[in-house]
Structure 1
Amino acid sequence: MNDNNSRGGQGMAGIHAYVWIGLVMISLLNVMAHLIAMPTLPERIPVHWGVDGSADGWGPRWVAPILGALPLVLLALFYATPRLDPKGSAYTKSGGFYQGFVIAFTIFIGAIGWFGELASWGLLAGRGMVNIIVSGGIGALLIGMGNYLPRIRQNCTLGIKTPWTLADTDNWRRTHRFGGGCFMVGGVGITALGFMSGLLPESWFLVAVIMLTAGSIAVAYGYSYLIRRKSYNG
């Protein structure tokens, strides 16, 4: 039986056709909703927010539907990625990770695209509200990725790609099992920071988010190197 159809209708990327169709339909409806909402907006709307969660960049209201179309661009990229990866078949063997990631990230970006309208309508009032939503979303994504990382099969696109994980399947497996925990800890930390953003100086908040994100990756990267070094010396 063809491998592309041997997993309950899943394609090469490990994602059911109805999931792709559903996400495309939702994304198209999202663009239509932005177009319908555009006449209710002022001539200029917020398009960028500072570290403190306050709008500090503005653009014409026609930018709103363009931002609303970003999920469609992402879906095209997500659809193409496994087909360009030399080890693309690994996507169907990764315990549903890619499907979950595509769904979650597409919805997350679609939701962020409404910030301009919500701010213009006065529904994002309150210092730090944007930080809470964005940090919560990023934190949830990291926690979800951490939970699924140990299930990702070796490939050239997704996961913790070091010279040693790509060269050794055992290094890949052990690094992703350890890295999953690092990502989950980082995700919890970033979520907590979002709720504390109104109490922290702007520079502290930004540095803390960067350190948690980069630290989660760096620790996993270092662990991969230690495994390789131990294997080489042993």
Structure 2
Amino acid sequence: MGKIAKTLKKDWILLLLILAGFCMSIYFYPALPDRVPSHWNIHGEIDGYMNRFWGAFLMPLMNAGFYFFFIFLPYLDPRKNNYNYFSSAYRAIRYMLHIFFVGIQIVTLMAALGYPIKIQVIVPAGVSLLFILLGNVMGKVKHNYFVGIRTPWTLSNEEVWRKTHRLAGPLWVAGGILCLILSFLNSRITSMLFFLVIVIIAAVPTVYSYILFRNDMNGK
């Protein structure tokens, strides 16, 4: 438990970020309508709602839940010792995801309060930035069971894991940049291209890991 206490002490910025999310929800709660937007279609039109409580507090609760999930995750992993070799990358990934959740919360609250939000631009742009940032650390993630590109072939072969993540890093950065550009070209075609790019940059490392594993097995 000493390690967990030390981690909590190091994570004061993250904890403040999570606390800020709760404070935002509490502050704006009286002004929120009974129904809070929870989903938008590709045209930016609201097509799903939550009640006021969940609309206000779902994201901060998820953020808090994921914080503790990420704290305990290394202790559940059979390869827990490998986390020591990519602790900086692991911390960076945690920061990225928590900031992303707070961003989604801010957008949801602003939309619920009646501010004109171009959700069809903001969310794809946010996802694109997330891929760019994740791509920058993918190559540093060491072999483990929870964080990274977890296919049957990467999990069973450390060299396949290493090569797959070295490919995925620049691929995600390039794909993220392309998706970021497409995010601001708001049309039906660019929306389809956006999703196509996401599918490609997710599928290519998976297929690549299989090919590497098969070649390794054939070589033996």
**CA displacement, residues 71-103 of structure 1 (integer Å, 9 cap, x when unaligned):** 111112211221111112222212611101111
TM-score, structure 2 length as denominator? Answer: 0.86
> Which of 54, 66, 74 is matched with 1:74 structurally?
66
**CA displacement, residues 129-166 of structure 1 (integer Å, 9 cap, x when unaligned):** 21222112111111111111111111111112223322
Q: What SS does structure 1 have at the residue aligned with 2:188?
A: coil
Match of 1:8 in 2: none
> Which of 32, 35, 43 is matched with 1:41 structurally?
32
Match of 1:215 in 2: 200
The 1:84/1:122 distance shift into structure 2, 3 A limit, reads same
Q: What SS does structure 2 have at the residue aligned with 1:156?
A: coil
**Structure 2 residue 98 is the aligned partner of structure 1 residue 106:** yes
Q: Say if 1:171 and 1:227, in contact at 8 Å, map to a contact too.
A: yes
Question: Matches of 1:169 and 1:57 in 2, distance apart?
Answer: 43
The sequence identity of aligned pairs, in percent, is 27
**Equivalent AA in structure 1 for residue 88 of structure 2:** G
The 1:88/1:40 distance shift into structure 2, 3 A limit, reads same
Runs (5+) with no aligned partner, structure 1: 6-10
Question: Matches of 1:233 and 1:17 in 2, distance apart?
Answer: 47
1:21-100 to 2 correspondence within 5 Å? Answer: 21-67=12-58, 68-94=60-86, 96-100=88-92
**Structure 2 residue 145 is the aligned partner of structure 1 residue 162:** no
Question: Matches of 1:44 and 1:172 in 2, distance apart?
Answer: 45
Match of 1:142 in 2: 131
**CA displacement, residues 173-220 of structure 1 (integer Å, 9 cap, x when unaligned):** 111111212222221232222112x3225xx62x43433223212211
**Equivalent AA in structure 1 for residue 149 of structure 2:** I
Give how far 1:70 is off.
2.0
Q: Say if 2:33 and 2:113, in contact at 8 Å, map to a contact too.
A: no
Instruction: List structure 1 segments (4+ residues) > 6 angstroms apart after TM superposition.
Output: none
Give how far 1:20 is off.
2.7
> Which of 193, 200, 204 is matched with 2:188 structurally?
200
Match of 2:211 in 1: 226
Aligned-CA RMSD value: 2.4
Q: Say if 1:95 and 1:148, in contact at 8 Å, map to a contact too.
A: no
**Equivalent AA in structure 2 for residue 87 of structure 1:** R
**Equivalent AA in structure 2 for residue 88 of structure 1:** K
Give how far 1:16 is off.
4.4
Number of residue-to-residue matches in the alignment: 217
Question: Matches of 2:144 and 2:108 in 1, distance apart?
Answer: 37
Question: Matches of 1:29 and 1:232 in 2, distance apart?
Answer: 51
Q: Say if 2:18 and 2:64, in contact at 8 Å, map to a contact too.
A: yes
Q: What SS does structure 2 have at the residue aligned with 1:114?
A: helix
Structure that is richer in helix per residue: 2
> Which of 138, 142, 149 is matched with 1:153 structurally?
142
TM-score, structure 1 length as denominator? Answer: 0.81
